[in-house]
Amino acid sequence: MWDQPHILILDEPTNYLDRESLGALASAIEVYEGGVIMITHNDSFCRQLCPERWVLEKGVLNTEGDIEWMNKLADQSIEFKAVEEMVDSNGNKVVIKKKLNAKEKKKMKKAIMDKIKNDEDLNDEETEYAIEYNL
């Protein structure tokens, strides 16, 4: 398995390469029969070799590709849903805080103020919110 990997992960493979070396690298990637994941800032090199690209820009992940790949993608029905639960590397559940809109914030603030006024206990989320907004 180590002699013939199914996938290569290349982190900035074009750094410090001259034109001749870039050509050799491109040729090697083109004839490689496995999958290739390339992390690079060299957009033109990536566009030349990769029919599918995942571009992370300003915290937003977008998929891009050549015409053939984009047409194939358009034919597929892909449904994304928000991540509701995550687990860290130790198996611990990671709580994802939901961002409240202005209306929800106002409603939450009123509910917390009422609970404080009536001397009721706050749950963890309400306590966090009360501390964050100095209620």
How would you write 5-57 as a 3-class SS string? Answer: CCEEEEECCCCCCCHHHHHHHHHHHHHCCCEEEEECCCHHHHHHHCCEEEEEE
- In the chain, the number of structural domains is 2
Q: Are residues 63 and 118 located together in one domain of the fold? A: no
Summarised one tens digit per residue, pLDDT across range 67-106 is 777 777 666 655 656 666 777 778 788 776 667 788 888 8
Give domain status of residue 45, yes or no: yes
Summarised one tens digit per residue, pLDDT across range 22-50 is 999 999 999 998 889 999 988 889 888 88
pTM over 0.85: no
Q: Are residues 106 and 82 located together in one domain of the fold? A: no
What pLDDT, on a 0 to 100 scale, did the predictor assign at position 78? 57
Q: Are residues 89 and 122 located together in one domain of the fold? A: no
- Provide the domain limits for residue 108: 102-132
Q: What is the CATH number of the domain that holds 84?
A: 3.40.50.300
Strands 86-87 and 93-94: antiparallel
Give domain status of residue 118, yes or no: yes
Among 46, 39, 34, 40, residue whose Cα is nearest residue 7: 34
Give domain status of residue 44, yes or no: yes
What pLDDT, on a 0 to 100 scale, did the predictor assign at position 114? 87
Q: Are residues 19 and 74 located together in one domain of the fold? A: yes
Give domain status of residue 26, yes or no: yes
Q: Are residues 125 and 78 located together in one domain of the fold? A: no
